[in-house]
Homo-oligomer: A and B are copies of this chain.
Amino acid sequence: MAQRPKLYLAGPDVFLPNAAEIGHRKKELCESFGFEGLYPLDNETMKGFSDERRDAFIYRANIAMIHDADAGIVNLTPFRGVSADVGTAFELGLLTGLNRPVFAYSNDVESLLERTKRNGMATYDTATSSWRDPHGLLIEDFGNADTLMLTEALTAQGGALMRIDAQGRLDDLAGFTACLEEAKKYFEA
């Protein structure tokens, strides 16, 4: 029997109070689709280790898993603000640079602009015909879920960022499961 493809499971899930449980459930879902899930190391897992250079250890462990993976599933749900988690965005970039197919979801259906408006941070500037935040910084208005560098990374692969109506809950797994279905089609093709 051929070896199961390995999927790196990127996302801010590692910061949840029940990170280990979510990781376990994600890995079980991967198994049920015929994949091996590689879940990033989190701070909690590392509590027993010395504080010194624990960050470097976690980084190296995650990078090794990303290099080992055949593809990635990326959770781009907004995190502490209107955009995705920066660590997850970094990992999406790394996977893209390594030519790994990526399947991605966000548990929020709003566009970046809608979300920024709802947070009271968007004003229309008639002089430049564009939306600006309180610092005068441009807010992208393409209808995308997040900044174009993230969403177009998926479009450029022939995919798309899946937008799930789950009110931004980080631990909802409907989008993750939909990504597994896409990954299964990809590896069976």
Q: Footprint of B on A, CB under 8 Å?
A: 12, 14-17, 19, 42-44, 51, 54-56, 58-60, 62-63, 79-87, 89-98, 116, 121, 128, 130, 132-133, 135-140, 142, 144, 146-153, 155-156, 170
- List the B side residues contacting A12 at CB < 8 Å: 137
A83-B86, A94-B93, A96-B94 are contacts. A142–B60 as well, Cβ < 8 Å? no
Q: How many copies does the complex hold?
A: 2
Contact B150 A86 (CB under 8 A): yes
Bound CA–CA A150/B88 (angstroms): 10
- List the B side residues contacting A140 at CB < 8 Å: 43, 55
- List the B side residues contacting A90 at CB < 8 Å: 89-90, 92-93, 96, 149-150, 153
Contact A92 B91 (CB under 8 A): no
A117 to chain B: closest CB distance in Å? Answer: 13
Q: Which residue of B lies closest to A54 (CB)?
A: B142
- List the B side residues contacting A83 at CB < 8 Å: 80-81, 85-86
- List the B side residues contacting A55 at CB < 8 Å: 140, 142, 144, 148, 151-152
Bound CA–CA A108/B84 (angstroms): 21
5 contacts between A and B (CB under 8 A): A55-B148, A56-B155, A80-B133, A94-B96, A95-B97
- List the B side residues contacting A144 at CB < 8 Å: 55
- List the B side residues contacting A98 at CB < 8 Å: 97
- List the B side residues contacting A135 at CB < 8 Å: 170
A90-B93, A137-B80 are contacts. A85–B152 as well, Cβ < 8 Å? no
